[in-house]
Structure formats: C-alpha cells, structure tokens
Amino acid sequence: MKIKHSRWRTAAVAGAAVMALMITGCSGGGSGETTAGIDVPFGPTTPKAAGGLDTVTWMLPGEPTTLDADIDATTPDDMILANTCDRLMQLQPDLSLGNGIASAAEWVDDTHLRLTIRQDATFHDGSRVTTADVLWSMQRHAAEGAAESDEYAKVVKIEQSGADTIVVTTTQPDAIFLQAMAGDGGIVWNPRVITAEGSKFGSPGSASACGGPYRVEEWKPGSQVTLVRNDEYWQKDRVGKVERAVLRWADEAATVNSLTAGEVQGAYFENPAAARPFVSSADNAVFQGPATNAWVAEATPRGALSDVRLRQALSLAINREGIAQAAFSGLAQAWKTPVGSGAWGYEKDEFQAAYDRLEGAPAKPADADIERAKQLVAEAGVPSEPLVIASNGTPVHNVIANALVDAAKKIGLSAKILAVPEVQYGDFYNDEKLRDSADLWPDVYYISKSDPLGFYKNGRSDSSRNFVAYDDPAYDAGVDAAYAATDDARRAKLTIELEKKWVENAIWLPVVATPATLVMSKRVTGAPASASYLYYPWLADLGSAKG
C-alpha cells in the first residue's frame, strides 16, 4: 500500500524539495526562528559523521512485524529493510531518485522500460546478484496478492533480455513506476534463500535474502533487533561507520524519556511536537527535513458537506496557524494542499509558484475570508443538523477537531465532536458505516512518491479515497494524461491543474504540513533528516560527531 494515513505503517516518502516546511521559511540546511521562537535546522541531511562507533541504540516507533515486504511493511519494518535490502533504484536523502541495482533505466518507447542490471552486486551470503534474480524479485512483487503488487498495476510483462537487461512492458506510460522501484517494490531478493526458508521467511531467526550495508544479526521478539555492518558490502564507499546498531521500540512518551536519559542515540518522530523538549537541550539536537506529510480534514458525503460550497466555506475559516502552534508547538506549517512539499521531486520552482497562487485555504483567515465563507453558507443554506467532526481523543486530533468546530461557528454553522476510539479511527478509510457517522475526520496522510500525482490521483471519480464523490470527467482525464506524461515539465503542468481543482473543490480540507523530525544525541551525527529514512540506508551515514 503506497498511500498512507496516520497509523505507523509504510510511511510516506517522496520529493526532492529542500525548501522549509517550517513557518520560518528557512531553506535546506539552514535554520530560522518560527513564530514560537524555535530555532531548528531544516534540510535533507545532518552534519557528516567524523568517526566510527562500535554500537548505537536507536528507537523504532513499534515492533517490526515481518521483514518480507511482499507480505506487509510497517514503518518499523521499513526502517530495518532500508539498511538491509538493496533496491533497483535508490532514494536519496534529498528524496531525489538515484540508481541502485539498476545502473541505468530508460523508457525506450511509451510502454517499454529497459533496466540495465549491474553485475557486481552481492547478497549477504556472498553470492552474486544476477539479472535472473532481479527478474524473480520483480515477478514476486507483482504477483497477485503481494503487498507491492499495486506498484505493478500497469505492468503486463517483465522479461530478461540479455545478460544484464530487464525489459518491463506496460499498458501505458507510467511516469512514477521508477520511483516505486526505490521503495519496497524494488527490493532485490535472493530467491534461493526465500525458497529454502519457505513460510519462515521474514520472521525472527530467518536468513537474510537481501544485500545491503547491514544485515540482521538477531531479532528478539518483544525486545530488540540488532543489525551488524556488512564489511563485505559491494559498494565500498557505502560501508557504514557504525559496527552494530541495537533497534528498540516504545511509544512516543517512553522514547522521549529514553532520549532524555541518554539511553538511546536517536529516533524519528511522527509528531513533531514530541521533539519540542529537545530544542534547547544540551545533550540532544532536533533536525527537520522534507516529507510529504500533511494533516487534513477528510470530508464524507453523509450530509451537509456533500455541498462543495460548505466545504469551501469551512476551509476559508480554519485557523491553520493556530493549529500549528497549539498542536505541534510551532514545528509544523499552515498548509494549502493535502500533500507536503517533499513531494515536489521535480520542477520544484513550478510547484512552488503554483502553491503560492492557490487560494481558498488561508493560513489565518482574514475578515474578507470570513465574509466570503458566510456568503457561501448563505448560498448553500444552513444545515438543519450540526456538522459532526470525529476525533480519536489524541491531543493533535482534539486540537484540530476543536479548531474545526470553532471555524464552523464563525461562519454560522453549528458543529459537535464525535469521539471515536483510536483503535477504530483508521477504519474511516475502509468502513462506509463509520464514515456515515461523521462529516469530517482529521488525520495525517502521506505518499511514497516524489510526485504530487501520487496523491492527486485520489480525486478520480472511481478512487476509493474520493469520499465526497467528486465527479469531474476533466479531472479523470487529467490524471490519465499526467500518468502518461513522462516529460517532467508536462507532467508538472498537468498535476498543477489537478492540484488547483482539488483545492478549489475542497475535496479534502488541508490543515498543516509536518516535516520529518529527527532527535539525535549530539555525540552522533550523519543520519538523514528527511523522510528518506524509510527507504534509504540511514544507518550507513551515522557515526561519531568527533573523529
């Protein structure tokens, strides 16, 4: 699954933007003052490591479930696989796309992609990665029922053509297929190991079927996973500086306590507000970087918000800056779109300019915005029943839900909050009966592509994420045309048109963008600050801050 919501699952990775998501407006690698007076460096990387380390301890957000990405891939799973498994393409810290096991990739025509497979890569067992192994891996990913099969939806044939060549045939041009090959759908497996392991593969104690700068030494269920450096890694310049990494897991509060006590050296946080206590710490540092994360209020068609005018009115009235401060301690930015700028993996200037032109989702509503919203309410008519806004009871959800209630009241609408258990909250995406209980539910959403098209496809009339049943044949045609546009400039132009239609119609209401957030002991450095940590071998860059 490549489009994700707030459960700690395969998170969103994408984009090459190094502009700040912060209120500061600071740029890549820089720092600046937010309105809350917070000074946080923003950029894709942290300062380079100066020396090696025997052992580091790092926190994961939860226990891994399996290391077989074709079965599933949660965030903890991916944080391990990023360091232990090579891929056909390689996501970079700035979230751009580089080569991996495929040394070259070329669309020879609209429906044929040629991959040149390097012949010097090796697996952890020392055997050479062959072109046949790559073919087997891609076919396994594409198999019906495999977790990564959606990445191969437009693929009709994968075949070896020569000693070092794979040819992928698609039904139409697929402009974001290569980006998927930097994710779990591009992992290159050792078929001999997987065959030998059988149903045990991916579970604690099973053998490695990958090649990467680290390998799993031990997985103690309920306790920790230990990774050890692969000193024979085929990319000699990518051999890590850390010999051994102990990966543990805990909830957010316990992770904060472990960092404060100096028991662990680092952690990535989903909620930037969790990093606030470390901003002025003498022992730990906070870094932020590009990501596609955006908090949104997702509308349902159960009642009043099936009217686009009421959605537009509510969007005009939301105090996004207030939410950024109250819910995220200033470590987030009021945002106009449902996907963060980390998705701007190409034509960044064009996407930035288009973003700046967008209207309808002000950071802080002016009097004119409120008046326009009231006019829209008058045109649509005041609903007879209050709007129902869901919350799962967590602090961030409560802040956003209450802000939505406040926005509604400012424009003549009544609203109330519906408490939904946190364990059930994610079911809004799949349970129509649950969706029928609310008009809006706030959540965080992110994509795994360096292309906003990976999100805006959700506005198609047949999309399972088009909850308000937005139906525009021109939009549908625009999605198809953008997928077929392998030229970046043309695809950007088409995607910007989709973005404009999405925001104008308030299909979902954007709230704030939340960058990737890293807290790291000042004794270590080098880990990427961007959302690349889910697919990029972040541990290979980590080391001592002192030589």
Average pLDDT over residues 424-451: 91
For residue 132, CA distances in Å to 99, 118, 166, 211 come to 19, 12, 9, 15
Enumerate residues 6+ apart whose C-beta is below 8 A from 230. 124, 211, 212, 213, 214, 215, 239
Residue 187: how many other CB atoms lie within 10 Å: 28
- Please tell me whether residue 30 adopts helix, strand or coil conformation: strand
Nearest CA among 335, 412, 337 for reference residue 376 = 412
pLDDT attached to residue 175: 86
pTM here?
A: 0.82
Structure tokens at 121: 């890569």
Average pLDDT over residues 519-528: 98
Average pLDDT over residues 432-445: 95
Using one digit for the tens of pLDDT, what is the confidence trace for 340-359?
999 998 899 999 999 999 99
pLDDT attached to residue 38: 65
pLDDT attached to residue 34: 37
**Torsions phi, psi of 445, nearest 5?**
-140, 145
In this prediction, what percent of the chain has a pLDDT beyond 90?
Answer: 82
- Please tell me whether residue 47 adopts helix, strand or coil conformation: coil
Band (pLDDT 50/70/90 cuts) for residue 173 is confident
* Residue 21 reports pLDDT greater than 50: no
Band (pLDDT 50/70/90 cuts) for residue 14 is very low
Which superfamily, per CATH, for 294-513?
Answer: Dipeptide-binding Protein; Domain 3 (3.10.105.10)
Using one digit for the tens of pLDDT, what is the confidence trace for 446-473?
887 889 998 999 999 999 899 999 999 9
- Per-position DSSP letters for 393-430, written without gaps between them: SSHHHHHHHHHHHHHHHHTT--EEEEE--HHHHGGGGT
pLDDT attached to residue 33: 33
CA 138 to chain centre: 22
Averaged pLDDT score across all residues of the chain: 91
- Please tell me whether residue 334 adopts helix, strand or coil conformation: strand
Longest dimension (CA), the chain: 71
In this prediction, what percent of the chain has a pLDDT beyond 70?
Answer: 93
In this structure, CATH architecture of domain 46-64+212-291+519-547: 3-Layer(aba) Sandwich (3.40)
Rg (CA), the chain: 23
* Residue 25 reports pLDDT greater than 70: no
* Residue 481 reports pLDDT greater than 50: yes
Using one digit for the tens of pLDDT, what is the confidence trace for 482-517?
988 888 899 999 999 999 999 999 999 999 999 999
Using one digit for the tens of pLDDT, what is the confidence trace for 253-297?
999 999 999 999 999 998 898 999 999 999 999 999 999 989 999
- The ranges of the chain annotated as CATH 3.90.76.10 are 86-206
- The ranges of the chain annotated as CATH 3.40.190.10 are 46-64+212-291+519-547
Cβ density class 144-168: b for 16+ within 10 Å, e for less = eebbbbebbeebeebebeeebebbb
- 487 or 537, higher pLDDT: 537
- The ranges of the chain annotated as CATH 3.10.105.10 are 294-513
Nearest CA among 51, 363, 13, 398 for reference residue 176 = 13
- Per-position DSSP letters for 97-112, written without gaps between them: EEESSEEEEEEEETTE
* Residue 5 reports pLDDT greater than 70: no
Using one digit for the tens of pLDDT, what is the confidence trace for 97-108?
899 999 999 999
- Please tell me whether residue 308 adopts helix, strand or coil conformation: helix
Which superfamily, per CATH, for 86-206?
Answer: Dipeptide-binding Protein; Domain 1 (3.90.76.10)
Average pLDDT over residues 8-23: 31
pLDDT attached to residue 493: 98
